[in-house]
Amino acid sequence: MAPRIAASAAQAVANITDGSTVLIGGFGNAGQPMELIDALLEGGASDLTVVNNNAGQADAGLALLIKERRVAKIICSFPRQSDSWHFDEAYRAGEIELELVPQGNLAERIRAAGAGIGGFFTPTGYGTLLAEGKETRIIDGRGYVLESPIHADFALIKALRADAHGNLVYRKTARNFGPIMATAAKQAIVQVDDIVPVGSIDPENVITPGIYVNTLVALGGAQ
């Protein structure tokens, strides 16, 4: 199905309901779908499970969702930063659940969900606190931990450009989690600078094929 073209970020996220699991792309500011997150904040959905590399920074985006106690649980690799005060406060108050995952396992678990993999043995985290309670196995003399896929209801992603079929290209290190998150969510909602006619993106250079994209919103490059 060709993606729905939303008229605004608000319209793009309008069907995100309470209790949803939402993958949010970005690493630092690169690839962070700030307008979609703001729209989600505005939209009012609560009791969310959010998957992101971090747990919000300063007084913007994800940090505000956490401040407003709209995030019941966060799955991330690096919550603690110099400016993660809203997360820190919610966490110390016992008002947000944290599932801490090594960054590569986080990426691989998201990929596994999109790829129909039921679980995988990873060497990362073996013998550490983060493997406690998890199944482990020695394979060819090396220790591995069994990790499970992270499926989601929605993904919020920022890409550089889409064609009307939803084929996406990204820009530099802003690519980060976008391509795998698009595959792991029932609905991928993507903000782009612009939407170009079908045929404008070389099929060799498509990073996310349109099959993974459900909703597009064009916000212009000057945002």
From the list 170, 192, 215, 219, which residue makes contact with another protein (rule: CB under 8 A)?
170
| 133 binding its own copies? (CB under 8 A) | no
H/E segment holding residue 110: helix 103-115
| 28 binding another protein? (CB under 8 A) | yes
Q: How far is the CB of 60 from its own copies (least distance, A)?
A: 27
For residue 150, what is the DSSP state? -
User: From edge to edge, which strands make up the β-sheet containing 71-76?
Assistant: 4-5, 215-218, 185-192, 152-158, 21-24, 48-51, 71-76, 97-100
From the list 127, 137, 194, 223, which residue makes contact with its own copies (rule: CB under 8 A)?
137
- Residue partners of 107: CB distance under 8 A and separation at least 6: 177, 180
Strand partners, 135: none
Binding mask 56-75 for another protein (x = CB under 8 A): --------------------
In the window 180-219, what residues touch another protein (CB under 8 A)? 180, 183, 198-199, 203-204, 206-207, 209-212
Total number of residues that touch another protein (CB under 8 A): 70
Q: What is the DSSP string of 33-46?
A: -HHHHHHHHHHT--
Q: How far is the CB of 201 from another protein (least distance, A)?
A: 8
3-state secondary structure of 125: coil
From the list 94, 140, 141, 172, which residue makes contact with another protein (rule: CB under 8 A)?
172
3-state secondary structure of 98: strand
CA separation for the pair 195, 3 (Å, rounded): 11
Q: Which stretch binds another protein (CB under 8 A): 10-18, 40-48, 59-67, 168-176?
A: 168-176
In the window 111-130, what residues touch another protein (CB under 8 A)? 111, 113-117, 122-130
In the window 70-129, what residues touch its own copies (CB under 8 A)? 108, 112, 115-123
Residue 192 partner contact from its own copies, another protein, none using kind-dependent CB cut-offs of 5 to 8 Å: none
| 165 binding another protein? (CB under 8 A) | yes
- Residue partners of 55: CB distance under 8 A and separation at least 6: 62, 63, 66, 74, 76, 78, 79, 80, 81, 84, 87, 98
| 177 binding its own copies? (CB under 8 A) | no
Contact set with another protein (CB under 8 A): 1-2, 27-31, 53, 77-81, 87-88, 91-92, 98, 100-108, 110-111, 113-117, 122-130, 143, 163-165, 167, 170-180, 183, 198-199, 203-204, 206-207, 209-212
